Amino acid sequence: MTFGEHLDELRVALFRSLIGLVIGFLLGLLIAKSVVHWITAPLERSLNEHYEKVSEERLDRLYGEEVPVNMLAFMQKERLVFDEVYIEQEELQRLAGDAPAGFAGLATEDTDLAEVTLPPPSHKMVKTRLWRRSSNDVQALSTQEPFMIWIKAAFFSGLLISSPYIFYQLWSFVAAGLYRHEKRYVHIFLPVSLALFWAGALLAFFFAFEYVLRFLFGFNRLLDIQAEPRISEWVGFVLFLPLGFGIAFQLPLVMFFLNRIGLISVAAYMEKWRIAILIIFVVSMILTPADPVSMMLMAAPLSGLYFLGVAMAYWMPRGRNPFTEIYEP
């Protein structure tokens, strides 16, 4: 094919991929609400764990080893946290049923609350704990933010739904530039490419998110900063990280094709592996948020996939060119 024909083939592949993405997006609108609840589940679990640890650390600082073990177990079971408040000693006596004379008959069902005059607060104050269930609500700070979250969730769902068709179109474009006997490899590498993409995305969602959130919430506790995450920031994080993982996991196939077209030999891969690992860590740092946990969770599998790409380039058979001479117009 000429260069212009290759551009036409690329234009057709991109247009068809866009049509597939639009159809996937429309289907994603139907399940966007369920997807939002699904992707916020790791955040809610991490928030519960964060608040429980904050309460445990506060109890340890206040009472040390005097905290009963059964209290900690009850806190974890019921997901309880506490606030320290000051209350008047007379008020405690009133709540206990031993009200002083000044409170006797202060308010009844027939009393107008506007006419009730409370006595001045006593200087005797008691410090106590009020227990409540931990609040793991994710906040939206603007009225239009939930709508944008719904759109983002639909786009994320549509991208995953249409990913097999999009990968098929991209590999069809690659197949257009191959010899007839080489096009059979597309049927091999298409499912491999799709499997690597899904493996990276699932690794990010089911494994990386938990550790990243624990690391970030740990710094909140270290600096005594209250964690109140916004749903828009979290959904953006959920969208970006799995896509970064899925694209990065295409590394073995990229290495294989660079070898087959003669740009990089297997010997060069093995000779420059230290530089390649360094580049992998730098790219992982760029494609992940600003924390070392997510960077390591991407860089470690990619380092293994690098050597998988070397193995593919070395062990997979080479196709034979059926043409004995090159035709130059």
**Domain locations in the chain as residue ranges:** 3-49+141-315
Torsion sign over Cα 197, 199, 205, 209:
negative
> How many angstroms separate the CA atoms of 254 and 196, rounded?
12
CA atoms of 248 and 196, how far apart (whole Å): 9
Question: What is the value of pTM for the model shown?
Answer: 0.62
Tell me which residues of the chain have a pLDDT lower than 70.
1, 62-69, 71-72, 76, 78, 92, 96-123, 134-141, 177-179, 181-183, 185, 227-229, 289-291, 317-329
Residues 157-195 pLDDT 10s: 888 888 888 888 887 887 776 667 666 767 777 888 888
> Hey, what amino acid is at 220?
N
CA R_g for the chain: 31
d(CA 82, CA 52): 10
- The strand pairing partners of 127, in sequence order, are 86
What is the rounded distance in angstroms from the CA atom of residue 231 to the CA atom of residue 36?
9
What is residue 66's predicted lDDT score, i.e. its pLDDT? 63
